[in-house]
Chains A and B, each alone.
Chain A
């Protein structure tokens, strides 16, 4: 009897600590997501914004969006951007993690310090890369010309074909240390005696990497890639500030296009329809993520 009431009190206390934050997230993220689905089936424009009785238009917003060539491009660009970033971020992040895992005098301070790019406002990162990629005398053109890699300055962000590269490189600058950090944690969790045993058995460096590092690092690699996908796929600030989706719509991605529809053209219904496409993509990946980590019993 006594233990039961104590258990109950414990549980009440637990809720008292936990629920406020959960409710807050449900109100400011959960409810808006549901509301977003409702809006996407309504005719919401600047004129109908204030009225509470908005017409339901069925799938009209989705039909309009999917028929829109800019949307198709935005969807494609989002995937190109994400894959491009993931490849660069992950491979360089991995190299950095392996390199700084070696114990030399300055390995730890440097590894810690380059993470600073992750903390900076993306707005500023976007601006400085825009400056470095400038056509006239941007530092990147100057360096490439001095190395005789290019003959004439390239308008990196002004050409549809190169603008996406500018974005991918700028984003990788933020993503590399993040990947490195998570992979470093994974590497540190591999017990040293496994390597020692392999050395005694006469395994070469490459063999150890392929037979020990990679398999044992697999869970970390999975979560780094999935997390990286989610963080990259939702890009907004970087594209918005660096290219604004341009030139024309060569770098338009889902989030910037949704923003444009809602807050520049005031087609809120279509804007939220695009956001929902983004949501579905992210949600699928988030589910995969939850499945992988619950397998590893991290929770």
Chain B
């Protein structure tokens, strides 16, 4: 069955087996086009998958009666899908396609008006030229740009504080200091051996057996001491909280 016949039969019957047959016949084209977009940070397999999905959609949309060969029709369709994928993937914050396209048109129109008039156009002028509302133009203009947290917050001074440094810490630093101080004073009342056990178990995060091996005692001893130390620490902390 030639191409025209195949598509005509599929359009008439809607037979899925026939559609699969068409898709399989043109999969090499999908692979060929996907290969042309390799080297942009996306694996061939992913590109091939996108191209194959575009091919399936294209088979359903193709109208052979218009005199265009399927390969001519499907190539821009697949290339378009792959390019859309790259565009969507290249932004950390995904903009809706309409906003993204409007952003490009706004920039282009602004450049054109600037070259004609020699001055920067207002959003109202751009909106009139593009046939959209002023609000849409402003939204499109404001929607771009990802800012690095390492960038100086005042925009110029390289030695100044970065955005990252200005972000509030999720943990209250004073609370953290207070807690540290309470633990330090609670540890003061421990014996040398008890302090060594705390250092091994909670500082170095060793197991009871490893701690026992290092301190040359039994694991049972470490376990008993640990219970005793925890009780002692709890009591000390309770006392310091009351004071």
Task: Answer whether A and B are interacting partners.
Answer: no
Name A residues whose Cβ lies closer than 8 Å to a Cβ of B. Answer: none
